[in-house]
Amino acid sequence: MDELDSALIRLLQSDARLSNRELARRLGIAPSTCLERVRALTRRGVIRGYHADIDPIALGRGVQAMVSVQVRPLSRDVITTFKAAASDMPEVLSVFVLAGGDDFLLHVAVPDLDALHAFLLDHLSKRREITGFRTSMIFQQMQNQTPEPLLRPDRLPPG
């Protein structure tokens, strides 16, 4: 990971739809060099994919919450099963597996408070492995779409 890779990542984070030719032009490198750099970053897992940033409110999901979930027994099977089940729930945007007092954190987006209440009652309270959950409403969200490497260059993984 060098300055060219970092600049390439910044450009793709700001607009993943840039063509290879445009990326190369902005970086002042040959298109073939640019393409090989993107391929190498993808092979190494730095670039995991490309997606559109969709506004949940525009999709009729004006209420968002973070739901902390505790499960028991705490085993690999229970964690794997619940993680898969939560990921399949249409109300859930993200699933985080945690260490500490809570086992999972679910980012949920629904149309209104009634839908949030129904989600909690119909999807969570009926699951046997869930021993408790807490809900925190989200009023505003900001997200850093352009994280940069924090490691010193001499400590970056090889590649």
Long-range contacts of range 106-111, CB-CB < 8 Å, 24 or more positions apart?
Answer: 106/66, 106/67, 106/69, 107/64, 107/65, 107/66, 108/64, 108/65, 108/66, 108/67, 109/56, 109/61, 109/63, 109/64, 110/61, 110/63, 110/64, 111/60, 111/61, 111/62, 111/63
Q: Is pLDDT above 90 for 156?
A: no
- pLDDT value of position 67: 98
Each residue's pLDDT tens digit, 47-67 = 999 988 888 999 999 999 999
Q: How confident is the model at residue 97 (pLDDT cuts 50, 70, 90)?
A: very high
**123 and 89 in a common domain:** yes
Do both 80 and 118 map to the same domain?
yes
What's the pLDDT at 147? 74
| Tens digit of each residue's pLDDT (9 = 90 or more) over 101-154 | 999 999 999 999 999 999 999 999 999 999 999 999 999 988 877 777 665 556
Q: Which domain holds residue 32?
A: 3-51
In a domain, 151, yes or no: no
Q: What is the CATH number of the domain that holds 33?
A: 1.10.10.10
Domain assignment present for 121:
yes
Query: Total structural domains in the chain?
Result: 2
Q: What CATH number did the domain enclosing 113 receive?
A: 3.30.70.920
